[in-house]
Amino acid sequence: GAGVSQTPSNKVTEKGKYVELRCDPISGHTALYWYRQSLGQGPEFLIYFQGTGAADDSGLPNDRFFAVRPEGSVSTLKIQRTERGDSAVYLCASSPGTSGRTDTQYFGPGTRLTVL
Amino acid sequence: GQSLEQPSEVTAVEGAIVQINCTYQTSGFYGLSWYQQHDGGAPTFLSYNALDGLEETGRFSSFLSRSDSYGYLLLQELQMKDSASYFCAVLTGGFKTIFGAGTRLFVKA
């Protein structure tokens, strides 16, 4: 079946602009995670959704970052007033959500964001 | 703070066995996962340990000691395709997963 998909695969923007990154999880997965990964580092947790609600958004670095999942499927990560330090690969992962915290996370290919 | 420590690089020859260690210090602990990531690719799940002991999945095994805040990933019969980055990750209190910085494994012929 189809895996996690993310669009766009690459996004180049200018400092100060607004960007939206989209994640399509595996069909039926209720849990959805956003991470960002800088070169040579591990994924850094941003936010976790269970269904439509953000169960844990403690990883969002500041109020320029916001994520939604209005129908419990597709999620959008929104970044306002982008800064050069926001440049990274943004990864989305989903899991069935039926086994609580032990679920395997299935990652998408990521969106490479470059802020000039 | 929360931290996971793992070696930055490991080199081994084809057919050999390699062990990648991970020590962690986190607030809350539900389990330790391992992920593999090839350059330019997405992380893929390898194993998960919630209890002390060894979990075996084919050529890969993972071990956890909760009392020592320590775990390792063991890769046997190394193949060239195993060259990748390997991340340990702790499932903490709440729903946050904390990843280590990763270990780059180079497999030589």
pLDDT by residue (tens digit) across A3-12? 999 999 999 9
Shortest distance, CA B23 to any CA of chain A (angstroms): 15
Give residue B96's pLDDT band: very low, low, confident or very high (50, 70, 90). Answer: confident
Q: Which residues of chain A have pLDDT under 50?
A: none
Average pLDDT, chain B: 94
What digits encode the pLDDT tens for the residues B1-33? 789 999 999 999 999 999 999 999 998 899 999
User: How far is A69 from chain B, CA to nearest CA, in Å?
Assistant: 17
Q: Return d(Cα A5, Cα A23) in angstroms, integer.
A: 6
The pLDDT, as a whole number, for residue A1 is 58
Q: Provide the pLDDT for residue A96.
A: 87
Contacts of A50 in chain B (CB under 8 A): 95
Cβ distance of A109 and B42 shorter than 8 Å: yes
Q: In what order do the strands lie in the sheet with B60-65?
A: B3-5, B18-25, B70-75, B60-65, B53-57
Residue B82: strand, helix, or coil: helix
pLDDT band at B63, cuts 50/70/90? very high
- The whole-angstrom separation of Cα A31 and Cα B5 is 27
Half-sphere exposure of B78 (CA within 13 A, CB side): 22
